[in-house]
Chain A
Amino acid sequence: GAGVSQSPRYKVAKRGQDVALRCDPISGHVSLFWYQQALGQGPEFLTYFQNEAQLDKSGLPSDRFFAERPEGSVSTLKIQRTQQEDSAVYLCASSLAGKSTDTQYFGPGTRLTVL
């Protein structure tokens, strides 16, 4: 069956541009997560949705980062006025229910390069 998909796979932005990254979770999955993975590092938590509700946004590094999931399915991570330090792979994951024990399934990521 289809896994988590993300688009675009690669994005190059000039410093100061706004970008939008899309995540399509596994169908029927209630929970959706965004992580940021810098080069040579493990993923770091950004934010978490249960259906359309954003329950945890403690990992968002600044108010330039904004995420939404308006219909409880597809999610968009938006970064305004991109900076070079935003260059990273942005990973989306989904899980079946809202329990902390549920397995998180990851997408392939969007590699963002800010010039």
Chain B
Amino acid sequence: QKEVEQDPGPLSVPEGAIVSLNCTYSNSAFQYFMWYRQYSRKGPELLMYTYSSGNKEDGRFTAQVDKSSKYISLFIRDSQPSDSATYLCAIGGYGNKLVFGAGTILRVKS
């Protein structure tokens, strides 16, 4: 079993839709939860960073962490074609390395 599980998609939605992306993890030692966005042939860029259970909002993006269920989510409101990318969940706090999910490919159709 992988330490971090993420559905690879692809997920295809119409412009303006609310998108929900999810990951589960197995090791309760993980303490920090991140979402990275990766455009084709580019490196990952950090979108959201949370430490604790609950919600964190930044513009159209909301990150949600439920440590009791070992479940993290990213919600994107009013999705735009420019949001089309691969979204990677990443978990840290177990040493200095990050452990990534496989990434979910998102396509927002105009």
Contact = CB atoms under 8 A, between A and B. Distances in A.
Interface of A: 4, 31, 33, 35, 40-45, 48, 55-56, 59, 91, 93, 98, 100-101, 103-109, 111
Interface string B1-24: 000101010000000000000000
Given A40-B8, A100-B32, A108 B43 contact: yes
B27 to A, nearest CB: 14
Contact of A55 (B8, B41, B96, B99): B96
B91 to A, nearest CB: 11
A31 B96 contact: yes
A98 B96 contact: yes
A5 to B, nearest CB: 10
A103 B32 CA distance: 10
Contacts of A107: 43
Interface string B66-110: 000000000000000000000010101101111111110000000
A43 B100 contact: yes
Interface residues of B, number: 26
B42 interface: yes
A108 B102 contact: no
A40 B92 CA distance: 21
A42 B49 contact: no
B97 A42 contact: no
A30 to B, nearest CB: 11
Contacts of B41: 108-109, 111
A56 B42 contact: no
Contacts of A91: 43-44
Given A42-B88, A43-B44, A48 B97 contact: yes
Given A43-B100, A55-B96, 11 more contacts: A4-B43, A33-B98, A41-B102, A42-B90, A42-B101, A45-B97, A91-B44, A100-B92, A101-B92, A108-B42, A109-B43
Nearest to A9: B41
Contacts of A31: 96
B43 A45 contact: no
A103 B48 CA distance: 10
